[in-house]
Structure 1
């Protein structure tokens, strides 16, 4: 894995299905960026349920960002979206237990859902959203060196072998144990930051 020499000036974080910017990893990253790299523009939006609308929001929100100066971090479904953006924009991406077949996996969630961090908040996952996910699926990874994939063998939601196979060309970092949420995120934060060129030592 080649660590990019230049740190991003703009960093995007994408949460997973039913999640939000209030997720542990999003808040941990936001806190680290604020404490150590406040010069980097940070954006962690609440993504709409519609995959097409989510990607449109992200493309519009990053339209003025420098392609060679931006990077995206995504977890689970956010990892899928991060891949879509990396392929379309040519930016670097860090993927945390990324969804590789979201159209297949989320088809069983069609119907009313609750937000993970606010059970009082409901949204409807529509059947056409599955088609939108299918339409967004990148055909291939054109520049594997742009990616860092963190994949936990203890993921209880997604098959780590499927993730590792999809991102094999990226030389994924396979974590023994852990879980889908990557609850030991702090232990892997230095690798993520190092890949992005945001630090030269552990924090």
Structure 2
């Protein structure tokens, strides 16, 4: 099985979460890239990866924050399992305040986040009634003390889905080991 890790806004395809995934699934089974800041280009790269891997072996998407929104969209589009961590459910709204000059906190790269990016993000927001069709393939993990996105609202939004909220933590998510243990206990996790 291959795991594609999808990082969040102003982040990068490396760090502690990826290390934990590699320890759990094996170095050679975890793919993580630095995505373009333009969401449409990011989605095209991820779709290319998925199309090239999904017929070889089962796939699991793991996305955090904006990467969680991408994961919801791609899991729905390709009917594959997704682990969603502290997700942005409505990125076209959540990122309105970020239009303008940005600096990636991991790479220190500066770039301009454009208003037109929000229009594309709106297009990939899958309505909840559609996500219901793949709810047996989605696993939502939240840190209760997420300072950027209200984890209680997210839990309520995904009522009826598999949702696990950890006490404490923050938006960067502090419970990766517990998440992986929980995922391992889910014998019914459907990869593909």
Q: TM-score, normalised by structure 1?
A: 0.84
The match for 2:143 is: 152
Contact 1:18-1:114 at 8 Å conserved across structures: yes
The match for 2:15 is: 23
* Alignment of structure 1 residues 1-203 onto 2, 5 Å: 9-34=1-26, 38=28, 41-66=29-54, 69-119=58-108, 121-139=109-127, 140-141=130-131, 142-195=133-186
Contact 1:74-1:80 at 8 Å conserved across structures: yes
In 1, the alpha carbon distance for the partners of 2:187 and 2:43 equals: 22
> Unaligned 5+ residue runs, structure 1?
1-8, 199-203
Give the SS at the match of 2:17: helix
How far apart are residue 21 of structure 1 and its match?
1.4
> Unaligned 5+ residue runs, structure 2?
none
In 1, the alpha carbon distance for the partners of 2:47 and 2:65 equals: 19
The match for 1:6 is: none
How far apart are residue 197 of structure 1 and its match?
7.5
How far apart are residue 101 of structure 1 and its match?
1.1
Contact 1:16-1:78 at 8 Å conserved across structures: yes
Q: TM-score, normalised by structure 2?
A: 0.88
CA 31–124 in structure 1, closer or farther in 2 if over 3 Å, else same: farther
How far apart are residue 153 of structure 1 and its match?
1.3
